[in-house]
Chains A and B, each alone.
Chain A
Amino acid sequence: MKLIHTADLHLDRCFADCGLPPGQANWQRQHLRELFLDILRQASAQGAEALLVAGGLFVHERVGRETVAFLREAFELARPLPVFIAPGRADPLVPGSPYVTGHWPDHVHIFQSPDWQAIALNGAPLTVHGFAFDGPAISRNPFGGLRIPGDGRTHVAVGQGAWKKLQPDAPPGLAPFDAGEAAAPGLAYLALGGHPESLAVPNDRGVTAYYAGAPDTPGFGHRGEPCFLEVDLDARGLEPAVRVKPVFSASLAFLERDLDCTALRSPAQLADALAGIGRAAKGNCIARIRLTGRRPGLRPLDLDAITRDAGPAFAHLELHDETEPPEDFDSLARGHTSLALFTGRLNREIAGSVDPGRLRMLRRARTLGIEGYRAPHGNPEGAR
């Protein structure tokens, strides 16, 4: 018996935090849809018994009618693949939710209560237990309350929750659980959602439990490869044999890194270095690159031109210029001139500053001040 387990797709999510412009973000949102279609296609092609969605199918506050229509059509295309959806905190089962207002095909089963519900699959000895978040915070934590009957059927459970090992301070509204209490005796597999990385949840009851992880990288600062899970269940023995295989999805990577420009001699070399980073990622990444160190030349970097030159190597490139001019600030700070005193004071303040924002401000102030001392008379170049 094969099951497909996914979660945290977050269709129609906003990419403002990732710094994507709307055009690129729209492309990314479309990519999420295609990703879900691909999961459905693979589930159908492999003859899976069911698709388990452990919450986070879409973002409730932002989901549009087109996306709801898309989901309906996608489920219709996947018919008769049974789909079990456990609404999570991003897509809770609240009045006005598409889960409530939408007309879903009859092979799509949406859990309707924050308590455990059981749905027996027709034509297969499989019973799926699940619950729904009834708001961004669930009104009562269902973990620990699951009871599995000894009816000879294979029982799996699906839902979203916060593993206390990962989130020790998770409030009750996030459905926190201990691995032991979540693994009800008799359960063959626990499909979890609410964590962006695929992760096993070991427990002493021998129940296989996994976070599916997001099939798409949620944004910058997340580790782990995006994937969904193929779960093979063999319930012929006394104890069900469960084999979980991650299926990595072809998703854009979010690359965030620093590039030290000290060794680079010109903006062209910098653009080449950036393009090299993009090529190493096969152009399939959204990159946020912080330029650090000493920049080539005294003039500020023309980020637009560099982005124009290196941009084709990326799906999207966002540059943050934190370079400083190729100056020996310690040397400049020697002496008793006001330039030296200014540089020395800024050097000291920079050395003593721990706040990144203030640090950036101070570094820039130092650079601007030195530029001011050295600028030819006349109007300086305005900000760009």
Chain B
Amino acid sequence: MRIDRAAIDGYGRFSGLDLEFAPDLQILVGPNERGKSTLRSFIADMLFGQTGDGTAAEAEARDLRTPWANPSAYGGRLVCAFENGESCEIMRNFGTGEATLRAAAAGTGESHPDGYIEQRLGISKPVFLGTATISHLTLEGLGEHEALNQIREKLLSLADADSEGHSAMAAVQHLDAHIRGVGRPGQAGKPLPDAQARLDELERERIGLVNLRGELAPIEERRAALRRRAQALQAEIEAIERKLRQHEARARAERLRAAEALSARIDEVTQESFVPAAARDFPQDRTPEMQRCETRLNTARLQRSRSQGELAAVESDLAARETGAPARDLPPPLDPALEDAFTAARAAVQRLEERAAQLRAQAQAARDRIEETQAALAAFPDFSRIAPDPVAWLTQLATSFDVAVRARDKECGQRAVVRAETRQRRERLRPLAEAFAGVDDFLDLARAYEEGQRLRAEDQRLAATRLQTLLNEAEEAAERIPGFRFLSAGLGVFLAVLLAAWVMFQINAMVWPAICTLFGMLYFLGNYVLARRRLEQTNTEIADARAHMNALAASEAGDTDHPVVRLMAREGCETVRELEARYDTFRRQSAELAAREEVLADIERQAAEAEERVDMLLDNFRGTFEQVGETVLHEDDVRQAAGNALTRYQDYREAKGRLLDARALFDRLQNDARNAARELEEARAREAEAADRLRAVMRENGFADTAACGSVADALRAYREQAAAAVERRGGIEALREKRAALAARLQAEEREVQASERALNAVLAAAGVESPAAWHEAAERAAKFRELHNHRLALEAQLATLLGDGDFNALRDAVREAGEPEPAPPEESREQLLAQRAAIETEAAAITREERELQLQINERMAGQRSLNEVEEDIALAARRVARLGQERESAAYAMAVIEEIARDRHARVAPRLAEIASGYLAEITDGAYTEIRLERDFGIHVCVPGSGRVLERPERSLSKGAMDQVYLALRLALVQSLSHSREPIPMLLDDPFANYDDERLRRTMRLLARIARGHQVILFTCRDDVTRAAETVSAAITRL
């Protein structure tokens, strides 16, 4: 395509500008800031329309393009022509977005869609801008250092994406970095491994939770069984309660009957009380007083009559004694204080002897108890030497063992799970591992294989082409040989005829035809010989080519031994890509397996440590529990052994307490016995002293029989008898006289007493309204009767109150009535039996409740801090989704990377030779043969060959000047455009002053090159430099000044 004309209605600084372009090389000259770049942008916008990515830079550029003079006239017209002679007129208004594309040359007015140019050129606007526009900046941007690398990058970018700076290699690097960003297995701190680790952790938590639920299930079942038993017991209690209520109802009915009987009896007593009620107020309480007065009077009267009789007897006795013999001397009475002291001392001795005997018996009993308790204690282990607090110690042992066992079970459970998972992974990986076992670097091998395949295919294609060419040539030669032979023979015959005619007829005019015929014959003869030789040579080459083909075919056949082919056959893959996917799977699964094996190793170590700890604890506990008399054979015995040891320790502690109590009692009794013995000695001393004094007094009083008596007490008894006899005798007459006087005086006193008693009795009787004690007694009997009946009534009322309890009679009656008739037959069990049964059941129920609470506590302890299975699984789902998302992200990036690598490899392999060939020609032309060959590797590595020396500059940027580097780049860019335009519509090229570092000679040569290229590809060159203009004039380029 070429651009013929541009009419700008309004675009940036341009308004009403009309330009015509030469079909080949068009130079647009203008100083800086005259709109060269704007014009270039106008052409691109007109061809492809204004598109943008919405960025701020793009918006700013769009603002700059808005017409400065008349914004409403934003657009213009562009006329272009295609290779096949068609032309197209493009009219656009960027303000309204209207676009009209129609065929212009034929005047048919046929309209085209907006993307017509893009469709015809086969490239988009970005591609056009990236490839077909070469600006000053793109060259300046190369810099001086690593210029070739940058050129290579730019070429790769242009080849890969038609834009500078975005190559497939950069894309692959970007994707690889993206994959690294997502993270690979075992790579800590990256999202995917972290998410996978979190998922694994949650899985472990879930498994632990499931295991825990499994472990708790029997406890739950036990708890449920206990609850059922408790409910059954509660039902039994309720049944007993019902029976008790029956008993209560019967008892209540009995009480009602008893209460009614009591009430009747109270009424009877009340009626009986009516008769003695008259004596209700009799001062019966003064009866003792009256009786005392009466007794006093009777006693006084009796005493008076006795005294009167005694006086009479004394007077008669006195009369008789005064006539009888005198009495001899007898011992006087003893001092009562002395007697009392002796008696008290003797009593104290007896009491203390009894006390001492009692204390001895108690002490012996205490001693027996001590020995018995000591014997019992000897059967227990000595807990005091085992631990300061055996309860805490035993509990701690059992708890620590439980914790260790639980930890071991948990670790072993996890180990089993991870083992199974690892085994599964290993089994899953085994076929791939066996397949890739001997392959060190499969990817390089696969790439080399593919490269070899591609090269061989290319060689085969070239060889086939060459063979075909040779065959054609051979055929052509074979076709020519008979002609040459026939013509040379024909001409030879004709020559012979001519010569014969000349010889025979001497016609000179035949000489020249004969000479011409001779030359013709020689020419065809020579051609014949050459054709024969050529045919022979071609046949030789055909044989070589066929041999080469056969060698390639043999080489292809030999590929069956290639490791990649073997792997493909083994894995049933049809393409290397499938095999690479298998290899990727193998690598990924290997990495995952390695990670799992690391996890398994950790878990194995932890489980082994946990098992070892349990075994170690068990060994330790065996010895420890042997000290407390318990045998531990298995780990299940530990808890039972701890319980037994605790029970034994309780018994031990109780026995110890009993021993201490018995010892204290024994000590106290011993002490008391010692005190009693001391007191007994003292009492005995006091008794002996009192006895000695008594004996002395009795001897002083002339009692000589003390020695004859067995004891002091017997002597004292004898002394008293003698003293009493002496008193009796010594009384004698005087005593009788004194007695008579005393009796007389006493008689008078008794007379007064009788009188006083009579007065007192009369006063009491008068107060009671009775006249005599007999009347008093009669009245008192009536009052007593009344009081008895009254008290009886009160007692009955108290009984009734007791029967009724807190309620009243009516309440009891109502209760009985409400309860209805009691069951005809009472419960078989008595109330006491039922109460006993209830107490027993309540005890059992309490034990069950206690056990259930303990189980509940156990469950709560085990479940403490555990999340619910739902929560864990919901977390797992979230984590799995995150892992899947990140995995897909990684998979997508890896897939994109693989596709880009594959496509880029193919594309570079195809583009690089052609690009190098064209660019080499351009460079040789620009540098006048200073450099004639550019070599491009498949990865677009650039080397420049130095003619003559055969040297290849692998790092040409170190040897070439900046201008030469610019020229290498320009040659490659021009070649790239040629390559992209191959077999398509030629793309016009827009160059914006790319000759900054060119000398004049190379500028002229470049201009000539551009002029030549422009014959196939229109070149529009924007410049502000006069030397460029002059160089353009040398190639007769069309020059337009802006």
Chain A residues within CB distance 8 Å of chain B:
12-17, 19-22, 25-26, 29, 62, 64, 96, 100-101, 103, 297-298, 326, 331-332, 334-342, 345-346, 357, 360-362, 364-366, 368-369, 371-377, 379-384
Contact = CB atoms under 8 A, between A and B. Distances in A.
B153 to A, nearest CB: 9
B858 to A, nearest CB: 14
A103 B231 CA distance: 9
B181 A383 contact: yes
A361 B160 contact: no
Interface string B897-909: 1011001100110
B220 A381 contact: no
Contact of B907 (A13, A96, A341, A381): A341
Nearest to A339: B161
Contact of A369 (B171, B220, B869, B878): B171
B217 A337 contact: no
Contacts of B886: 383
Contacts of B168: 338-339, 342, 373
A15 B891 CA distance: 28
B903 A382 contact: no
B895 A382 contact: no
Most chain A beta carbons < 10 A, residue from B123, B867, B881, B903: B903
B88 interface: no
A79 to B, nearest CB: 18
Contacts of A103: 227, 231
Given A101-B220, A342-B903, A331 B54 contact: no
B870 A15 contact: yes
Given A101-B224, A361-B891, A16 B170 contact: no
A380 B896 CA distance: 15
A16 B868 CA distance: 13
6 closest Cβ pairs, A-B complex: A382-B181, A372-B171, A16-B877, A101-B224, A369-B896, A364-B892
Given A346-B899, A360-B888, A331 B124 contact: yes
B888 A342 contact: no
Nearest to B124: A331
B178 interface: yes
Report whether over half of chain B's contact residues are helix, strand or loop; otherwise say mixed: helix
Given A22-B867, A337-B161, A342-B899, A368 B181 contact: no
B900 A372 contact: yes
A21 B871 CA distance: 8
7 contacts: A26-B871, A334-B118, A337-B162, A339-B171, A361-B888, A361-B891, A382-B178
Contacts of A334: 118, 122-124
Contact of B899 (A29, A340, A345): A345
Nearest to B223: A101
B900 A342 contact: yes
A382 B183 CA distance: 9
Given A19-B878, A383-B182, A336 B907 contact: yes
B435 interface: no
A292 B569 CA distance: 42
Contacts of B78: none
A383 B191 contact: yes
A278 B879 CA distance: 25
A368 to B, nearest CB: 5
B893 interface: yes
A64 B866 CA distance: 13
Nearest to A333: B124
Contact of B870 (A29, A100, A340, A380): A29
A338 B123 CA distance: 13
Interface string B424-466: 0000000000000000000000000000000000000000000
Contacts of A96: 217, 220-221, 224
Interface string B216-228: 0100110010011
B893 A379 contact: no
Nearest to B179: A383
Contacts of B867: 22
Given A15-B874, A96-B220, A337-B162, A62 B869 contact: yes
Contacts of B874: 14-16, 20-22, 25
Given A346-B899, A373-B161, A375-B170, A22 B869 contact: no
A374 B170 CA distance: 9
Contacts of A297: 54
A335 B130 CA distance: 13
B865 to A, nearest CB: 15
Contacts of A337: 127, 158-162, 907
B975 to A, nearest CB: 15
A101 B227 contact: yes
B889 interface: yes
A26 B873 CA distance: 12
A22 B870 CA distance: 8
Contacts of A20: 874
Contact of A332 (B124, B166, B908): B124
Contacts, number: 177
B980 interface: yes
Nearest to B876: A16
A364 B888 contact: yes
A374 B166 contact: yes
A365 B162 contact: no
A52 B856 CA distance: 32
A278 B220 CA distance: 44
B892 A368 contact: yes
Contact of A338 (B161, B871, B876): B161
Given A373-B171, A380-B174, A384-B191, A339 B896 contact: no
A288 B430 CA distance: 40
Given A12-B870, A338-B168, A372-B171, A361 B903 contact: no
Given A336-B907, A336-B980, A62 B123 contact: no
B675 to A, nearest CB: 68
B177 interface: yes
A335 B892 contact: no
A375 B171 contact: yes
A371 B889 CA distance: 13
Contact of B896 (A15, A360, A372, A381): A372
Contacts of B899: 342, 345-346, 365, 369
A101 B888 CA distance: 47
B903 A338 contact: yes
Nearest to B177: A380
A224 B687 CA distance: 117
B857 to A, nearest CB: 13
A337 to B, nearest CB: 5
Given A342-B903, A369-B900, 4 more contacts: A19-B878, A340-B162, A369-B896, A382-B181
Contacts of B191: 382-384
A139 B895 CA distance: 51
Given A361-B892, A369-B896, A372-B174, A62 B878 contact: no
Nearest to B895: A365
Contacts of B891: 361, 365
A335 B904 contact: no
Contacts of A375: 166, 170-171, 174
Nearest to A24: B874
Contact of A335 (B124, B192, B889, B903): B124
B60 to A, nearest CB: 17
Contact of B162 (A339, A346, A383): A339
B181 A381 contact: yes
A66 to B, nearest CB: 10
A356 to B, nearest CB: 12
Contacts of B917: none
Nearest to A318: B881
A86 B721 CA distance: 112
Contacts of A360: 888
A377 B187 CA distance: 24
A357 B885 CA distance: 11
A290 B877 CA distance: 18
Contacts of B127: 335, 337
A188 B849 CA distance: 46
